[in-house]
Amino acid sequence: QTGTVAANPEQYDQAYICPVTIGSQTLHLDFDTGSSDLWVFSNLMPSSEVDGQTEFNTNSAGATKKDGYTWSISYGDGSGASGVVYADTVNVGGATATSQAVEAATSVSSEFTSDTGSDGLLGLAFSSINQVKPTPQTTFFDTVKSSLEAELFTADLQSNGPGSYTFGYIDSSKYTGSITYTAVDNSQGFWGFTAGGYTVGGGGSNSTGTIGSAIADTGTSLMYLPTAAVQSYYSQVSGSSYSSSQGGYIFPCSASLPSLTVSIGGHGFVVPGSNFNYSPTGSGNTCFGGLQENTGIGFTIFGDVFLRAVYAIFDETQGSPRIGFAAQ
């Protein structure tokens, strides 16, 4: 089988939301290659924590409670959720898992309550970091992968318009040139890979360094790189500065932003400057940068700002996992 689903950007491309059928309900979930739990808003939640989201109905005929199973997840930004576990049929654009662990929330943090476009998350990192106790559950991809035409999924994220995720096949209309594959280190449960040199601006002349180990994370909006690369980038943005009140680099919204070329698997991938204007700060005419430092995160994260510039293939067809990138 295969699956194809639209990925709809929220405001400022903060996250990408996809329709998922669970039993007889359709919920809109944030597909997240940076975590491994499929969790949803549910009828078990206090109404004070729900702001228009669709709630998974745990009383529906097809939902089977997994007694004694609970989950609790917290993300690096301090947000989180927790609840209990059901099994139900989950269909993503035609790819169907007949008995998938659906983690029904009994409580979510304010970040999720206020993210009114999302009814939950569908984790696509490795099942080794699934947060269900006493027994970790498999991700949707792990549940269905043996029944897919090919054991892979792809992400095509777009700004200002729907992108797509596919399961089981590569859509050759989504990219140009060839796909560059590189090995994945999933020892921490993420789609980890090694990034090489970078250059700021098309000049090709100015500063280059190397980035090192990184993760491909559709669930994180921005790109978080080592300090040296970030300082080198913003040294080319006139009027930019680090704002401790805003918690990152900002610049005049009128600033012209250079591109950033990152070498992965020996191929240079260009992130256009426009990707690095994330959103207005709301004060003065300054905008918040889509590229920020990874200090305090402990990971170099290639989030949506990078993934919007490429077609990404999350591939387990070779036995050991690999990730592929192609220009789009």
Ligand X SMILES: O=C(CNCCc1c[nH]c2ccccc12)Nc1scc(-c2ccccc2)c1C(=O)NCc1ccccc1
Stretch that binds ligand X, among 71-79, 206-214, 265-273, 275-283 (CB under 6 A): 71-79
Say how many CA atoms lie within 13 Å of 176 toward its Cβ: 4
Please give the residues from 188 up to 247 whose contact with ligand X meets the rule CB under 6 A.
Answer: 217, 219-220
The mark string for 3-42 relative to ligand X (x by CB under 6 A, - otherwise) is: ------------x--------------x-x-xx-------
- Sequence-distant (≥ 6) Cβ neighbours of residue 171 within 8 angstroms: 4, 154, 156, 164
Backbone angles phi, psi at 310, to 5 degrees: -135, 170
Interacting stretch for ligand X, rule CB under 6 A, among 56-64, 72-80, 82-90, 236-244?
Answer: 72-80
**Structure-token match 């594959």, residue found:** 181
Residue 51 interacting with ligand X (CB under 6 A): no
Q: Does 130 bind ligand X (CB under 6 A)?
A: no
Q: Is 279 in the site for ligand X (CB under 6 A)?
A: no
Q: Which residue has the tokens 């797509």?
A: 164
Clarify whether 13 is annotated catalytic.
no
Helix (H) or strand (E) run with residue 143 in it: helix 140-144
96 binds ligand X (CB under 6 A): no
Q: Which two tokens stand for residue 8?
A: 């709809």
Do 9 and 160 touch, CB atoms closer than 8 A?
yes
Are 163 and 155 a contacting pair, CB within 8 Å?
yes
What one-character-per-residue DSSP string does 210-228 give?
A: EEEEEEE-TT--SEEE-HH
Residue closest to ligand X when measured from CB atoms: 76
Question: In terms of Cα–Cα distance, which of 26, 35, 37 is closest to 69?
Answer: 37
Does 139 bind ligand X (CB under 6 A)? Our answer is no
Q: How far is the CB of 173 from ligand X (least distance, A)?
A: 28
Of 77 and 149, which has the nearer Cβ to ligand X? 77
CA distance 21 to 94: 10
In the bound complex, what is the minimum distance in angstroms from residue 113's beta carbon to ligand X?
10
- Spatial distance between the Cα atoms of 203 and 83, rounded to a whole number of angstroms: 51
- Residue 79 interacts with ligand X (CB under 6 A)? yes
Which C-beta is closer to ligand X: that of 28 or that of 267?
28
In angstroms, rounded to a whole number, what is the distance separating the alpha carbons of residues 2 and 279?
35
The one among 26, 178, 183, 297 contacting ligand X by CB under 6 A = 297
**Pairing of the two strands 260-264 and 192-200:** antiparallel
Residue from 88, 115, 142, 156 touching ligand X (CB under 6 A): that is 115
Catalytic residue among 115, 119, 142, 217: 217
Catalytic residue flag (residue 32): yes
Stretch that binds ligand X, among 202-210, 276-284, 296-304, 306-314 (CB under 6 A): 296-304
The answer to whether 103 and 79 are in contact (CB under 8 A) is no
d(CA 190, CA 185) in angstroms, rounded, equals: 8
Q: Does 111 bind ligand X (CB under 6 A)?
A: yes
Asked whether position 120 contacts ligand X by CB under 6 A, the answer is no
Question: At 172, which amino acid appears?
Answer: S
In the complex, minimum distance from the CB of residue 281 to ligand X, in angstroms, rounded to a whole number? 15
Q: For 169-201, give the DSSP string.
A: S--GGG--S-PEEEE-B-TTSS-EEEEEEEEES
Q: Segment near ligand X (CB under 6 A), from 42-50, 171-179, 291-299, 313-321?
A: 291-299
Q: Which of 76, 204, 239, 247 binds ligand X (CB under 6 A)?
A: 76
User: Which listed range, 75-83, 97-105, 165-173, 305-313, lies at the site for ligand X (CB under 6 A)?
Assistant: 75-83
Where do contacts with ligand X occur on this chain (CB under 6 A)? Answer: 15, 30, 32, 34-35, 75-77, 79, 111, 115, 217, 219-220, 297-299
Query: Which residues are tagged catalytic?
Result: 32, 217
